[in-house]
Amino acid sequence: MNRHIGQALRFVRQSLNMEMRDVANLAGVTPQFVSAIETGSRVPSWNSMCSICEAMGIEVSLVTMLHEQDSPAIKPMMPIVYSKLWERSQTE
């Protein structure tokens, strides 16, 4: 995982109108840790990544698809990804 994963996490969090501290509390990590991941200065463990995604109510695969959105295999699926994010943001 790298900086782009952090950017994808930030995009999802902001799309869901979630505050960093709320995600951190739900995931059992500090807001500083979430910030460090989003800025690319820290790389999360798989468990941390799963906890953060679970806190946002999403699957890790969604973040992975956002990370790989320029890939020819993923690009056609991006409208579905954005639609799912929009639907999720409306349920809050």
Residue 1: per-residue pLDDT? 45
Scan for tokens 């993923």, then name that residue. 74
Q: What gap in Å lies between CA 78 and CA 3, rounded to an integer?
A: 20
pTM beyond cutoff 0.85? no
Query: Could you tell me the domains of the chain?
Result: 3-90 (1.10.260.40)
CA angle 56, 59, 64 (to 5 degrees): 110
- Residues 38/6, Cβ–Cβ less than 8 Å: yes
The pLDDT tens digits along the chain (92 residues) read 456 788 888 888 888 889 999 999 999 999 999 999 999 899 899 999 999 999 998 888 888 877 776 666 556 666 767 777 777 777 65
